[in-house]
Amino acid sequence: MSPQMSDSSSKGVAIITGAAEGIGRGIALRLVSDGFDVAINDIAPKQAALDQLVSEITSKTSRRAIAVPGDVSKDGDVKGIVDKVVRELGGLDVMIANAGIAVNKPIAETTVDEWDRLFAVNVRGTFLCYKLAANAMIRQGRGGRIVGACSIAGKKGIAEAACYSSTKFAVRGLTQSAAQEYGKFGITVNAYAPGHIETQFLGRFDGYQANKKGLKPGEWTETLKSTVAVGKNGTPTEIASLVSYLVSKDAHFITGQSIIVDGGGLFD
């Protein structure tokens, strides 16, 4: 993607946040197989999983990988991550602002602290990742790709997750605004809007429903399959395929979009 690549065979340098597990981990592995050097982020308690992923990548491929722990809701942490990546990997071409959290609760039971924490991680975190990555990309002057994590909950509000839905609507708005500001620098800004992707995240939604309805673990997750056209839930691989395309040169004419990847549940 860039003329100043980190080595002759690298496609560039990517940061993936919230990548110790789930969708972020899947995206990191896909971008490595696409030829990117990667910096993988998650919160400090996930350091061991980050280290394991780094050694999995560096032992099996010729790509470079470093762990960049930190909390995306903190300005200083995100700045430190971007600076370290530019310094150690030689630049920044791709930012995947994937980290996100949810709370399953009716509005009546959602506390102000829960509301603020979700907005801090999902919205302020995405804003900081977009802003600081774009600053670095503009300084380099070779364009870039920024991708955020929206959700089908950012297209249609869902009951008992109002706070989460609100944060994902905000990510969609932020993505549209950022696309317009950064287009002139050759930077595209898009988001994926996943449906039901089988990760620990979905497992927590399952736990909530099991508790509420007296279901066995996994039973609610199973019912989701019949709600979409293809009749199955997704995996991180399906999200990673879209991201692989969005960060490619071929995707230069797509920007400001939050693209649904849900097996055909919502149509926009």
CB of 7 to ligand NAD, least distance (A): 28
Show the binding pattern over residues 223-252: x = contacts ligand NAD (CB under 6 A), - = does not: ------------------------------
Find, among 125, 128, 114, 230, the residue nearest to 168 by Cα.
Answer: 125
Q: Using the rule CB under 6 A, is 263 a contact of ligand NAD?
A: no
Ranked by CB distance to ligand NAD, the top (closest) residue is: 100
Among 11, 30, 46, 172, binds ligand NAD (CB under 6 A): 46
Q: Using the rule CB under 6 A, is 42 a contact of ligand NAD?
A: yes
- Specify whether 164 is catalytic: yes
Count of CB atoms within 10 A of residue 74's CB? 16
Among 96, 134, 149, 242, binds ligand NAD (CB under 6 A): 149
Of the candidates 11, 155, 168, 182, the residue annotated as catalytic is 168
Find, among 199, 187, 162, 219, the residue nearest to 27 by Cα.
Answer: 199
CB of 9 to ligand NAD, least distance (A): 29
CB of 134 to ligand NAD, least distance (A): 19
Count of alpha carbons within 13 Å of 120, Cβ hemisphere only? 10
In the block, which residue shows the tokens 């500001």?
A: 181
CA distance 113 to 15: 29
Q: Using the rule CB under 6 A, is 188 a contact of ligand NAD?
A: no
Q: What is residue 138's three-state secondary structure?
A: helix
Both tokens of 151, joined, read: 């959700």
From residue 179, alpha-carbon distances to 23, 52, 59, 127 in Å are 23, 34, 36, 12
Looking at the annotation, which residues are catalytic?
164, 168
Q: Interface residues with ligand NAD (CB under 6 A)?
A: 17-18, 20-24, 41-43, 46, 71-73, 98-101, 121, 125, 149, 151, 194, 196-197, 199-202
